[in-house]
Structure 1
Amino acid sequence: MPDFDLSYVKDRIATESAFVDDLINEIGRVVVGQRYMVERLLIGLLGNGHVLLEGVPGLAKTLTVRALSDAIGTGFQRIQFTPDLLPADLLGTLVYNQKEGSFSIKKGPIFTNIILADEINRSPAKVQSALLESMQERQVTIGDTTFELDELFLVLATQNPIEQEGTYPLPEAQVDRFMLKIKVEYPTREEELEIMRRMARTGEQPDIRPVARPAQILNAREVLNELYIDERVEQYIVDLVLASRDPGGFGLSDVAPLVQYGASPRGSINLNLAARAHAFLRHRAYVTPEDVRAVAVDVLQHRIVITYEAEAEDVTSGEIVHRILDAVEVP
């Protein structure tokens, strides 16, 4: 990349990433801990990729997503997915006006900026497909009219990992459309104590002030394209993805029987984008192998389909990604 001007990009990064710390601090006024989840949501927002959140109820997933939308002053819709939800409830429908003898279009809640698809695996495949098509194509068709969605459009979906009765698990091909899959963990003892002190009282919680604008997010996305990523780091990303498809070729003969299918090319694309966003959050103008390693599990774990043998041995796809990270040489 001979025409790369590091000082120019550094200046741009300093200017365009100035809002990041304010954003994280503002969300921290209502969300205790969960820094990992907040950063991953920002990576999805900056990398223009949707995020799947998996965690038990009560871990502030909904609160965090709402706080994020309030902090950037943009539209937000929470949609509770249920077994009787219809695609029209999500996208909108044609309404017949009997007086005028004509149809008019009533848009659904998907026409906003940030969508929280709560418990997405509670709805059947027809509804899931309607949402995921909008995610991929960034457009919605109602009748014979097609509407473009806003440039700033992000789907943050949640699913409960413990209660599987009455659920419709997302097929692998649909899960692959999410840039990141985040396992939301319990808070630490100190965080739990702070949550109790802050939330175990009646009255309103602190309001979130807008500390960033949608235009700043869109500008930041443009800056991501200018971050320097060395060819060796690019090769490292490709090696990680190839190792998920052919573990034996990277000295992981014990892992090979555990993997049925590896990550798709979306894995390498999203790993590159997520690593860039991770570097941006740290105000850096270049991507390091550590940026790649930091986001690799969240980008790759839901793209690896494990075998029955892996299930029998209680080996998860996340553990397989960790083994790949340990085996593939870091540049």
Structure 2
Amino acid sequence: MNQHELVDHLTAHVVGRRREIDLVVAALAADRHMLLEGPPGTGKSTLLRAIARELGIGFEFVEGNAELTPARLVGHFDPARVLADGYDPDVFVDGPLVAALRSGSLLYVEELNRVPEETLNVLVSVMSEHEITVPRLGTVAAEPGFRLVAAMNPFDAIGTARISSAIYDRVCRLAVGYQDAADETAITLRHQPGADGAWAEKTVELMRLTRGHPDVRIGSSVRGSIDMCAVAASLGEVRSLPADDPAVSLDAALVALSGRIRVREGCHREPEEIITELWKQVFTAPPDELDDAGKAPAPNGARPAG
């Protein structure tokens, strides 16, 4: 299919993200390497996997972390077989990088800015030369179609490091932010099709409020509302209560969201306290309307001052 048909097909399978789909498809069609940068849970890997699937090309996945050494990325000679057969090419075990080069696949590196610098240096060379030279194996040239596609969280996320200008100079970068409430509700319902639409909207509202709370440094991704819907449905069955019962809803919110937020340094509040505060804001009934005198009515049993 041509690029226009590909984009139309992808928009039917990926919620929102039309602009991002356009740009990633265009960059890959131009044989460019691509970096998606944004907070967790913004659909970076979902988008890249969908594009690779629709293009019908290979997709080598690499989880970026501090343990990703050059040998794990590139590959290695099987020690046991080396003893028997020596350094024969057939003894080499391809890592994801060499596998992607040989097959002309996309090499997808998740959490790029958690990868050690010495491993990133290997990628810099490959992006420039479209080949890699492995000691005792020789040079492995990239087959047509090989491209690096990577995703990373913002630099200030825990465990991340700054990416060198050498990487940025060799990729096309696209900033990916959170989607709007309607899209995040659609995503939640896609993952939890049995959930009530109005209920899902409230879970999304609660999840989105965590991102702007003054005591929260990092709020929840849409995975929080997805999990809240799922946990509430299961917990309701356990307690023989509907999912939107307050006793079910609050506990589901605490389980799904308290671990996904990061409280600001110096703030002594617990995540559970903040989630409870926001849950009350979204799920409890609004206060009674003011009376004719402009005052809220007294609670039942209260005595007038006098």
The normalised TM-score by structure 1 is 0.52
2:124 counterpart of 1:132:
yes
Are the aligned partners of 1:81 and 1:119 in contact in 2 as well (CA < 8 Å)? yes
Partners of 1:132 and 1:189 in 2: CA distance: 38
> Counterpart of 2:145 in 1: which secondary structure?
coil
Give the counterpart of 1:183 among 175, 185, 202: 175
Where does residue 189 of structure 2 map in the other structure? 197
Identify which range, 61-70 or 163-172, moves more after superposition. Answer: 163-172
Partners of 1:69 and 1:116 in 2: CA distance: 10
Identify which range, 156-165 or 125-134, moves more after superposition. Answer: 156-165
Counterpart mapping for 1:13-24 below 5 A: 19-24=2-7
Q: Structure 1 unaligned runs (5+)?
A: 1-17, 203-331
Q: Rate the CA distance shift 1:67–1:132 in 2: closer, same or farther, 3 A.
A: same
Identify which range, 133-142 or 20-29, moves more after superposition. Answer: 20-29
Are the aligned partners of 2:155 and 2:161 in contact in 1 as well (CA < 8 Å)? no
Seq. identity, % = 27
**1:49-95 CA deviation, whole Å, 9 max, x = no partner?**
11111111111110111111110111001111111210111111222
Q: Rate the CA distance shift 1:132–1:19 in 2: closer, same or farther, 3 A.
A: same
Shift of 1:99: 5.3
2:161 counterpart of 1:168:
yes
Q: Rate the CA distance shift 1:102–1:27 in 2: closer, same or farther, 3 A.
A: same
Where does residue 33 of structure 2 map in the other structure? 50
**1:111-133 CA deviation, whole Å, 9 max, x = no partner?**
22111110111011101111221
Counterpart mapping for 1:314-329 below 5 A: none
Partners of 1:34 and 1:159 in 2: CA distance: 17
Partners of 1:83 and 1:65 in 2: CA distance: 23
Partners of 1:146 and 1:90 in 2: CA distance: 16
> Counterpart of 2:160 in 1: which secondary structure?
coil
**1:280-326 CA deviation, whole Å, 9 max, x = no partner?**
xxxxxxxxxxxxxxxxxxxxxxxxxxxxxxxxxxxxxxxxxxxxxxx
Q: Structure 2 unaligned runs (5+)?
A: 195-306
Give the letter aligned to residue 154 of structure 1: R
Give the counterpart of 1:154 among 138, 147, 157: 147
Shift of 1:156: 1.1
Give the counterpart of 1:29 among 1, 9, 12: 12
2:86 counterpart of 1:102:
yes
Are the aligned partners of 1:93 and 1:142 in contact in 2 as well (CA < 8 Å)? no
Q: Rate the CA distance shift 1:195–1:164 in 2: closer, same or farther, 3 A.
A: closer
Counterpart mapping for 1:1-331 below 5 A: 19-96=2-79, 97=81, 100-103=84-87, 104-110=91-97, 111-112=99-100, 113-144=105-136, 145-161=138-154, 163-178=156-171, 180-201=172-193
Partners of 1:191 and 1:151 in 2: CA distance: 36
Larger radius of gyration: 2
Q: Rate the CA distance shift 1:159–1:99 in 2: closer, same or farther, 3 A.
A: closer
Give the letter aligned to residue 23 of structure 1: L
**1:29-59 CA deviation, whole Å, 9 max, x = no partner?**
3310111211111121111111111111111
Are the aligned partners of 1:93 and 1:143 in contact in 2 as well (CA < 8 Å)? no
- The RMSD of aligned alpha carbons is 1.8
Identify which range, 47-56 or 167-176, moves more after superposition. Answer: 167-176
Partners of 1:166 and 1:193 in 2: CA distance: 30
Shift of 1:140: 1.8
Give the letter aligned to residue 141 of structure 1: T
Partners of 1:138 and 1:156 in 2: CA distance: 14
Number of equivalent positions: 184
Q: Rate the CA distance shift 1:99–1:92 in 2: closer, same or farther, 3 A.
A: closer
Shift of 1:182: 0.7
Give the letter aligned to residue 51 of structure 2: L
> Counterpart of 2:84 in 1: which secondary structure?
coil
Partners of 1:128 and 1:98 in 2: CA distance: 28
Partners of 1:174 and 1:32 in 2: CA distance: 30
Are the aligned partners of 1:93 and 1:108 in contact in 2 as well (CA < 8 Å)? yes
Q: Rate the CA distance shift 1:115–1:201 in 2: closer, same or farther, 3 A.
A: farther
> Counterpart of 1:141 in 2: which secondary structure?
strand
Give the letter aligned to residue 191 of structure 1: D
Are the aligned partners of 1:94 and 1:142 in contact in 2 as well (CA < 8 Å)? no
Partners of 2:121 and 2:193 in 1: CA distance: 41
Give the letter aligned to residue 22 of structure 1: E
